[in-house]
A and B are shown apart, each in its own frame.
Chain A
Amino acid sequence: MKTNERQFIIHHLGLYYLSISVRCLLSKGYPLVLAWFLLSSMHVFAQTDSSRALDEVTVKTFAPARFMAGLKIQSIDSVTLQQAKFQTLADFLSFQAPVNFRPYGNGQLTSIGLRGTSSNHTAVLWNGININSPSTGQSDFSTLPTAGFDLLAIQYGSSSCVVGSDAIGGSILLDSKPTWEKKAELSFGQRIASFDNWQTQLSARLSGKRFSSKTVFYKGVLNNNYPYTERNYYPVERSTTDSKGFIQDLFYLTKKQNQISLNVWLSDNNAVIAPQSIHTREVLQTQSIRVLNTYQIKKLTLRGGYVQDITNFGRGNFDKPSRTAIDRFLIRAEHEWQFSKLTAHIGTEAAHVIAHVDGYGGSKITENRLDVFAWLRYQFSARLLATLNARQAFVKSFDPPLAPALGLEYQVAKSVRLTGNISRSYRIPTMNERYWSELGDPNLKPEDGFNKELGINWNHTKNDFSLSSSLNAYHNLINNWVYWNPEVNYKVQNLQQVLAKGIEFSQKVAYQHKQISSGLMANYSFTHSSQQKAYDIYSVDVIGKQLIYIPKHNFTANLFFQTLSFGKNGLLKEHGMPFRATLQWQANSRRYTAFDNSKWFDGQQIFNLIIENGLRWKHLEGKVFFQVNNIFDELYLSSKRNAMPGRNYAINLVLNINK
């Protein structure tokens, strides 16, 4: 680690690694949370005896999505999610959708980019609450395990009116889903992978007609013992990642169909760069506590949440790390009314944020935020649906703009649907941008986006085939884009205006005949995202140029083949589980790494293969996944211009006991 002091400051400045007072998972809050959880679960289990048949259970998932007419939402199916249960969201999503991830290395900090926007323009919602760090305004996708959620969806485009701040490029929706049937399942999973990397998961699901519980423990160690130190002259950086976590979801349905739920997610991630160099290794610790308590009483939903994010970055023996600790307390109340064809949803959310960040000059910063929102959904006819939403956020000392949105969906024909959405979105500048000593500016304006989009969807089913395609085009103009301006010594300014526009095409083909099914899901996106306004004499070299790390062309494809069992009789016929082979492909064109596009990483394409099979015996089922990543040993680079790993292998064993 090195030389240029100013550049060093800038980087740690936090664009990414930020921090605060050293408190860890075992700080005061944790035993309380645990006690709360234990009490709640005892309470819920005590109720199970009295369970009785309930008439229709109407628990909606992704409820806010109902108010996103005209927006593109890509839901990931549970089979795919199950296959990827040992992957991080970053590794997984990059093969599912036109999402740009920027990894600093294998198992290292990885930020997201949706629709030509930067890493703090994607909201990450966990059970409806934004879990982006208030200090950086982004999430590290290398610390989000796929195993943690039951439902995963990518929502493309601006949705601030529904989601709130950050949702300028889109949002990632992670939800827990209850199971309302009598079921008990214990699952153990072990992954053994190349480079001495392994992961273990233990989960238990217990559910009845009135309650549902899911408990997950996960732990992973990436030793990244590569057998090479460079690939095609690019260094392969040594790093290790140690991650662990605990998830508990509890849902309880009262006799009157009111729902109480508790969601807890604790995670602890430790990434070490250059671990071989005991004096100069870099250590990034990320810990979080996320607790959410929801009461759904008829059409009223009340939520209370607590989120703690701790990020410590240090070197060597980790004596004096730079620390970030942020606590957030949330309260949210929503009510919905149904008047014939009109659904009205009104809500408010209040948050109290306490930030201890070394970089803010030592003093504690507290902040109160209030959001009010109103959403309307009107089903004009079977063919025409409209949503009209608005949100107003209030933050001390400045107010983000009112964010309205209008969405329309029109079924032109049985198989063809047209969609359109127009919306204003915003991003409240991160606490780093506002409070970082000397460089931050508390008087920054919120970023302000204006997004227009149109789409056409086509679905067709014939015989054993089903086909669906979608084509979406968007135009998103973002004003007051926050920029760490080198001209004024990297002080933060609302300098830029960015125009992100593009086209997305996706195609699904599915075939099913008797025991065989097969399918292809492919996505292509064209993205042009560029700075529009001159702010100094050198910006002529930058205007109109593609923003860094955003490829113009991005492709993903997943092709699978599945057969229910092998053999007409015998062991496999009797005990065999589906055999499934999946080929994944991700490709993108060149990614520029300099604002004037004078430097770039070449385009790349990566193929993965996953083969899955298993055996079932009574209540026991065992599955084996064999995975080859980067089959053709493609050279691709991390943000630090190091080579990412070449071809590597993994075997996942999953053992389930069902009752």
Chain B
Amino acid sequence: MNYKKLVLLSFVSVALFSCETKETEPAQPYDSGVFVVNEGNFLQNNGSISFIQPDSKTAITDVFQKENSRPLIGIINGYAEVDDKGIILVDNSTDGQDAIEIVNARTFKSIASIKEVENPRNAIKVAANKAYVVCWDILNPDYTYNPGYILVIDLLINKVTKKITLQNGAEGIVVVGNEAFVGNNPYVDKKEISVIDITKDEVTSKINIKGPASNLVLDANNKIWCTTGKDFLRINPTTKAVEATISTETATEKTPGKLVLNANKTTIYFDYAHWATGGEVYSFNISDATISTTTPIIKRTVTGLGFDPKANVIYAGISPSYNQAGYAFRYKPTGELIDSVKVELAPSKFLFK
């Protein structure tokens, strides 16, 4: 037995022993890594969720199908985890065929399906075993929006316990203390953020703003950032006041979107794009008084943006088309490309654990 084999053997035995000693609760396949939400192609209803294991350069595709031997049928609008349960938002091209799939977040085994939902947009944890799912409801025949709603889901029984009616095109949610703040799809003519008391599951007030508030995120100071048109707004959730309005340049038709925060929540990365001309990714510090869009961090049109707080890595979803697998491009916070992982159709959201 040579030296190398000896070293190998010792590693193996250490690994085996260390496993045994920790084995009070067995490790599960999806305990740590990155979930990639692949939106899929409209009318092909082929969205999916991929999983990238730590240090892996390849993705496990369609993990829901893999673990449950049945497909998700729709485009996938989001994935959130609440107390070891995963909530998948499935949006089918035909009305009446949308679904909220609840899985064990560690094994991805299906626990329940909720079918009484139309156009789910976001899911978020609001309390222990309690999730809100923000929905548009069905659209009108002319593609205008109806009043949206929140489905309150009790994850102990995996059922909807209440439906809270919201403004038209409700989309985007953050939770601060005992309140949830819900914004809008940018194409809806609504100028308010709904404030919901999460202990009562009721809308308690509205914050009036200059336009539809989209892309809500929460920074290190517990301030809400959102966008409306070409502007960024900073809102104080306690006073409900708009503390700052920072405009971007006015020469192009690009608008900011897909806001994500770095690990300590002091830097905001955003996609700055127009549907016809594409875009790039820029960033700013939450203490900045101006936002510059002259030097991009990532010079690509992205369909998704994420920040891995553990690895300190930016994830950008790149989609050659809606008919071909996209890639998760990984960048250092400076914008230096690290590598890319082929995922599935139209990677749009990331969840890091």
Contacts and interface: CB of A to CB of B under 8 A. Distances in A.
Contacts, number: 134
Nearest to A598: B325
B140 interface: yes
Contacts of B10: none
A538 B46 contact: no
Contacts of A3: 42, 75, 77, 91, 119
A548 interface: yes
A596 B320 CA distance: 11
B314 to A, nearest CB: 20
B345 interface: yes
21 contacts: A3-B75, A4-B75, A5-B275, A7-B322, A8-B143, A10-B42, A233-B73, A273-B94, A279-B141, A280-B139, A316-B140, A319-B142, A538-B321, A541-B320, A598-B344, A599-B46, A639-B43, A639-B44, A640-B94, A641-B44, A641-B73
B312 interface: no
Contacts of B142: 315-316, 319-320
Majority secondary structure, A binding face: loop
Contacts of B75: 2-4
A373 interface: no
Contact of B45 (A5, A315, A320, A641): A641
A594 interface: yes
B141 A280 contact: yes
A281 B139 CA distance: 11
Interface string B307-328: 0000000000001111111000
B286 to A, nearest CB: 30
Interface residues of B, number: 42
B71 interface: yes
A43 interface: no
Given A276-B96, A314-B141, A8 B46 contact: no
Contacts of A233: 70-71, 73
B303 to A, nearest CB: 10
B120 to A, nearest CB: 10
B209 interface: no
Contacts of B42: 2-4, 7-8, 10-11
Contacts of B138: 277, 279-280
A119 B52 CA distance: 37
Interface string B21-41: 000000000000000000101
Interface string B72-112: 01010100000000000001111111000000000000000
B95 A277 contact: yes
Contacts of A640: 43-45, 93-94
B276 interface: yes
Contacts of A273: 94
B141 A595 contact: no
Interface string B106-142: 0000000000000100000000000000000011111
Contacts of A599: 44, 46, 344-345
A234 B323 contact: no
A596 B41 CA distance: 14
Given A7-B42, A314-B141, A593-B46, A274 B95 contact: yes
Contacts of A1: 93-95, 139, 143
A464 interface: no
Contact of B43 (A7, A280, A538): A7
A487 interface: yes
B46 A317 contact: no
A541 B43 contact: no
B97 A235 contact: yes
Contact of A316 (B71, B141, B276): B141
Given A279-B138, A541-B325, A7 B97 contact: no
Contacts of B93: 1-2, 640
Contacts of A595: 321, 323-324
A3 B120 CA distance: 10
A543 B340 CA distance: 20
A489 interface: yes
A318 B323 CA distance: 30
Nearest to B39: A4
Contacts of A641: 44-46, 71, 73
Interface string A391-408: 000000000000000000
